Amino acid sequence: MKIKRLGRDAKSTKIMRELGVDGSGIKIMAKKAEVMLFYITNMHVGAANILKQDALSVGADLAIPNGTITCAFKRVDALLIGTKKHIEILAKKELAQPYGLKELAKELRAYLKREEFTPKIMGIINATEDSFYPKSRFSPKEAIAAIEQMVSEGADIIDIGGMSTRPGSEEISEEEELKRVAPIIDTLAKKTFGVRLSIDTYRPKVARYALERGFDILNDITGLENDELAQIAAEYGAGVVIMHKKGDPKTMQQNPQYTDVVAQVSDFFKERIHKAKAFGVQEIILDPGIGFGKRLEDNLVLLRDLVEYKKFGYEILVGASRKSMIDKIIPTPVQERLPGTLSLHQLALQNGATIVRCHDVAAHKQLIEIYKAYERV
């Protein structure tokens, strides 16, 4: 008899299927193979003590501060640890408990739902003169050739923008922004590329111009702050990228602060999803806004805990391509940040992202195909 330890990413369902395990047994045991962690804040001490006992009774556990059992505090933070099966049973159990545990149970159930999406590449086309990466700047004629190349390299979505929103960038007029992108939009309206087209704007006139000419995604860095954008997206049946940012591009990197960046972005998404649906928007994509009013540590924590946003049931987009967070980790000029970009985007895919927004499509196509092959093992 021999034994070997499997890696943390080993697919228990696939292994059991190969072993010839009964289908119903696979369904039950697969839930026992996935360990889940939940950080709970500001919980009533009574709720903490009840949840601790209930967790232990089903085989899970709750890490709580010393003194919780004697009610030394009125409210505590805690770490809930359990397999997917444990959490499933515990969520049902807590529906009958007081001190806010019923609401907690509903939240836990939301985390158990899984929507599966195929990883996609969004290629970046900037019709600007001041985007932070010079090689992403294109004239209208150059843009069409660049789009054709990105499509041939494996892009699923092309994202076109006419105004830089990099940290410290100056805002231009809506008319100037439209003037920059209109020739590209007009040319694309006459061509068929077989990919989706996204307009990167928060200006209503620019959004409407693109959507009425065949674009079907509105990439809004303000996350539908403007009601008119929500109305336009709904009118044309367009998908909307709801991105989180703090402040405006000119000042957003001037000492941004968060008490809990993952939770605060989650609250923002909840509010804006509700708004989008109220206006009739059907397709929603969530973008935590890497580098938009975030410190290095905020960006890294967001990448680590992207799984938090899967509870909403929508695709998650991450755009860390060649951004300054790489330079903050290891000093590197923007022209040499492709390896760091690929590393960050691989982490994003592993932790829940389904769309990566990038400058280098061919390299990301290779990354995604390798990632998909690894996921099939």
Tens digit of each residue's pLDDT (9 = 90 or more) over 251-302: 767 778 899 999 999 999 999 999 999 999 999 999 999 999 999 999 999 9
366 and 225 co-located in one domain: yes
98 and 125 co-located in one domain: no
Q: What is the pLDDT of residue 323?
A: 95
261 part of a folded domain = yes
Q: What is the pLDDT of residue 252?
A: 62
Residue 249 in this model has a pLDDT that exceeds 90? no
Dist. CA 288–CA 320, nearest whole Å? 11
* Strand pairing category for 75-83 and 61-63: antiparallel
Q: Domain containing 93: what range?
A: 31-112
How many domains is the chain partitioned into structurally? Answer: 2
Phi-psi region of 289 (alpha: psi -120 to 50; beta: other; left: phi over 0): left
The domain spanning residue 138 has which CATH number? Answer: 3.20.20.20
Q: What is the pLDDT of residue 279?
A: 98
208 tagged catalytic: no
44 part of a folded domain = yes
Residue 99 in this model has a pLDDT that exceeds 70? yes
Q: What is the pLDDT of residue 93?
A: 96
315 part of a folded domain = yes
Dist. CA 17–CA 94, nearest whole Å? 33
Dist. CA 233–CA 256, nearest whole Å? 30
Q: What is the pLDDT of residue 181?
A: 95
What does pLDDT average to over the chain?
93
70 and 209 co-located in one domain: no
The domain spanning residue 92 has which CATH number? Answer: 3.30.70
**How much is the pTM?**
0.90
Dist. CA 318–CA 355, nearest whole Å? 6
Tens digit of each residue's pLDDT (9 = 90 or more) over 119-141: 999 999 998 877 778 778 888 88
207 and 265 co-located in one domain: yes
266 forms beta bridges with none
Which listed residue (328, 357, 365, 376) is catalytic? 357
- Among residues 65, 84, 112, the one where a domain terminates is 112
26 part of a folded domain = no
φ, ψ for residue 111, nearest 5 deg: -70, -25
Tens digit of each residue's pLDDT (9 = 90 or more) over 7-36: 777 788 888 888 898 998 888 888 888 899
Dist. CA 129–CA 140, nearest whole Å? 12
Which listed residue (203, 310, 311, 323) is catalytic? 323
Residue 186: pLDDT band (50, 70, 90) is very high
Share of the chain above pLDDT 90, in %: 77
- Among residues 112, 132, 154, the one where a domain terminates is 112
Q: What is the pLDDT of residue 192?
A: 80
* Tokens read off for 356: 């990566």
Phi-psi region of 223 (alpha: psi -120 to 50; beta: other; left: phi over 0): left
154 and 299 co-located in one domain: yes
323 tagged catalytic: yes
Contact present, 74 and 44 (Cβ < 8 Å): yes
Q: Specify burial of residue 233 (Cβ count, 10 A radius: 0-12, 13-18, 19+).
A: buried
Residue 116 in this model has a pLDDT that exceeds 90? no
- Among residues 81, 112, 143, the one where a domain terminates is 112
97 part of a folded domain = yes
Q: What is the pLDDT of residue 115?
A: 81
- Which letter, b or e, does each residue of 259-292 get, where b requires 16 or more Cβ atoms within 10 Å of its Cβ? eebbeebbebbeebbebbeebebebbbbbbbbbb
